[in-house]
Structure 1
């Protein structure tokens, strides 16, 4: 006579090993009574529960409970196919977490995925949309039934095998964010891009965004590009001007356009070859010829010829490929626009800049040029220091190469310039010490922000009577940990201490006791993992929904907290926690 598991457990003859083996054989027996399998389904032995999940005689409701933990056994169970045949909407009856677990399995039959595609829960639909076995018919049905579900549409278009038919439906019915993503994606086919160009958006701003992304997409057909040129939108034309496949006809049309000047668009497109530029060099339209001599790929012979043409000289001067000898020749022209173009040319050498400096007309531009030598800079800054315009002297006061003698004189005689001298990253220790005792709190604040201010001065300014000065010290990236520990006791500086990269871990831990710092502390590089978990635990149990959402989305939130958030009363928080769990499982 067959004994039940309860009877066997009461039999003193049966050892624990024999009992477990007997229960396992019972759980594997396809002829065993369903009621007995129901009892074995709650066994503490995982192998027994696993066997119950694979047994075709297990009651349906028991199988559905076991599917969450044993998805593969459930899918291999012969009764699985029968359940789907009996109930086409079977996926809707499966418990939520069990269905999530099943949809993460790599091998799923089409009829099951098609059933799940009709589910009401968006998270289920996202998993179906991502599954490699989901058919085009299921994707198409989901798209038609959920036209405004942006995450679903984005999940579908990210599939490597998504068909043109499904994408065509998305173009016509999906939310604007999905169409924008399609228009931007370089993997989108030319035919789909062409369809996007003819869909009309109710919002004109969205329409322009679609056009702009199409203009920049390298696979947008040229016939569509010709149509976009007629939109008369400057941004769209600038986007087109950077394409690598521009025919000469479009280059000419863009270069001739009064809205979009060649120096700001086509001249930056390095895909335009020297051969094309040679072909356009004698074009009747002046703007086209100006673009040619401004382009970095222009042949040297064209530059030599253009330097004698007054209408082209400025554009030769702007060209970063123009050699130094031609630039020096252009300096002799002493024309204001030409000199300005040379002074802003990133390829202008030190000798070219010295040549311009003799004209004394572009001193500020030369002072900003990276190729200016220290000797030339100091010569120019001495000249600028004599300028009557206060704005020019303010610039000199902040310049890192300004001679120290000028700054010392100004500290003593020009109090209106001390604020700007305090911002100079190269000021001497003598000047710093004078400014640290300045009567103006604004000057002391600027000094406290200055990354060149030494620690002993920052320590002094950390005890300043003015709050903005102390806050500036707390914000300075060179402030030491000891000073930051002192400032952390000042509630008016705590926010800045919490964001300073030098703040020690122990100080950060002390700030947890204060409210309002959790977001800042989580982002701090010195926050330990255990401290992050503690902070996320606080946020995850907060009464404020935005804080719980933050915890639900954070990759470091402990799994236990995420599981708790999946049962939150707010559906957005539930879904965010589920997505985070899904990412962690990958």
Structure 2
């Protein structure tokens, strides 16, 4: 019933109020719901309804702006992640008292550089981490965040796909042996030179080798090496690398571990019985 009503341009407020929370939530998240209905649902008292409305890609921009200022932290955060938000709204949200909202804006690829520069100085490390990993963050801001006292923030810079190679090299050279998150982030970055990547493939910690296995620019010979890694999770991570050659994937299809073989069946869309 809600589907039919959602396509009616004349919204019956009384009828909407008589619907259950479940029905209104379904309307709120349905991209085919009429925009007039979505506008009305923005004032719904139930948090669940407004939450799904914030997730709906068809929600009108004026409703998103309203939801981005919602009193509920989670709703505000979800709405703030929408790339359709206008620049002036994102700049305003960068000053929001709610740290979840600021962190979401910091990760939003549509956030203006002015706001990113401001958020890069935020007192909360999660906000700075969001700026550090945002591909639109200016190099000057990344350079500052690369010297952040928090390992999590520096790891964010290390995984940024737009990081200047010289800065990535500097982060790697300064990283301590126990800063595994930073080293793993560096290993996953496609800007890393092949010789540096090779050294991380040989690292004695599985988490770092797993990150290297996901690197899109991992040379074929290193993929073959990781396909025989002693750790099953490293071998499994390699399977999800879209650049993995067919011959290496077929080798993993006969892996000694069942979870690795099952992962191959998912990639190849084959019945699991064929590889067991």
Contact map agreement 2:107 2:131 (CA 8 A) in 1: yes
Aligned length: 246
Report how far residue 491 of structure 1 moved. Answer: 3.6
Change (3 A) 1:307 1:346: farther
Report how far residue 391 of structure 1 moved. Answer: 3.0
1-side partners of 2:249 and 2:101: how far apart? 50
2-side partners of 1:343 and 1:438: how far apart? 33
2-side partners of 1:351 and 1:430: how far apart? 33
What CA RMSD, in Å, does the superposition of the two structures yield over aligned residues? 4.7
Tell me the secondary structure at the aligned position of residue 120 of structure 2: helix
- The residue aligned with 2:114 is 405
Matched, 1:381 2:90: yes
2-side partners of 1:334 and 1:364: how far apart? 17
Report how far residue 496 of structure 1 moved. Answer: 3.6
2-side partners of 1:528 and 1:343: how far apart? 41
Tell me the secondary structure at the aligned position of residue 134 of structure 2: coil
- The residue aligned with 1:459 is 169
Match of 1:446 among 156, 175, 199: 156
Match of 1:427 among 137, 149, 164: 137
Matched, 1:497 2:212: yes
Change (3 A) 1:358 1:409: closer
Match of 1:520 among 218, 229, 235: 235
Contact map agreement 1:343 1:353 (CA 8 A) in 2: yes
Change (3 A) 1:404 1:300: closer
Match of 1:307 among 9, 13, 37: 13
Matched, 1:297 2:4: yes
Match of 1:323 among 5, 21, 34: 34
Pairs within 5 Å for 1:55-66: none
Matched, 1:347 2:58: yes
Report how far residue 502 of structure 1 moved. Answer: 1.8
Pairs within 5 Å for 1:156-235: none
Report how far residue 400 of structure 1 moved. Answer: 2.5
Report how far residue 448 of structure 1 moved. Answer: 1.6
Higher RCO (C-alpha under 8 Å, 6+ residues apart): 2
* Structure 2 unaligned blocks of 5 or more: 266-272
Tell me the secondary structure at the aligned position of residue 400 of structure 1: coil
2-side partners of 1:368 and 1:298: how far apart? 29
Contact map agreement 1:463 1:470 (CA 8 A) in 2: no
Q: What do residues 386-406 of structure 1 show as CA deviations (whole Å, max 9, x unaligned)? A: 333333333333332333223
Contact map agreement 1:509 1:531 (CA 8 A) in 2: no
Contact map agreement 2:229 2:235 (CA 8 A) in 1: no
- The residue aligned with 2:147 is 437
2-side partners of 1:394 and 1:310: how far apart? 34
TM-score under structure 2 length normalisation? 0.63
- The residue aligned with 1:471 is 184
Change (3 A) 1:394 1:531: closer
Structure (1 or 2) with the larger CA radius of gyration: 1
Tell me the secondary structure at the aligned position of residue 472 of structure 1: helix
Match of 1:506 among 208, 221, 241: 221
2-side partners of 1:496 and 1:358: how far apart? 34
Change (3 A) 1:320 1:407: closer
- The residue aligned with 1:483 is 196
* Structure 1 unaligned blocks of 5 or more: 1-291, 540-545, 556-575
Report how far residue 474 of structure 1 moved. Answer: 1.0
Contact map agreement 1:495 1:517 (CA 8 A) in 2: no
2-side partners of 1:358 and 1:475: how far apart? 32
Tell me the secondary structure at the aligned position of residue 439 of structure 1: coil
Report how far residue 359 of structure 1 moved. Answer: 8.0
- The residue aligned with 1:248 is none
Pairs within 5 Å for 1:144-159: none
Report how far residue 307 of structure 1 moved. Answer: 3.1
TM-score under structure 1 length normalisation? 0.34
2-side partners of 1:365 and 1:334: how far apart? 16
Match of 1:418 among 128, 131, 136: 128
- The residue aligned with 1:57 is none
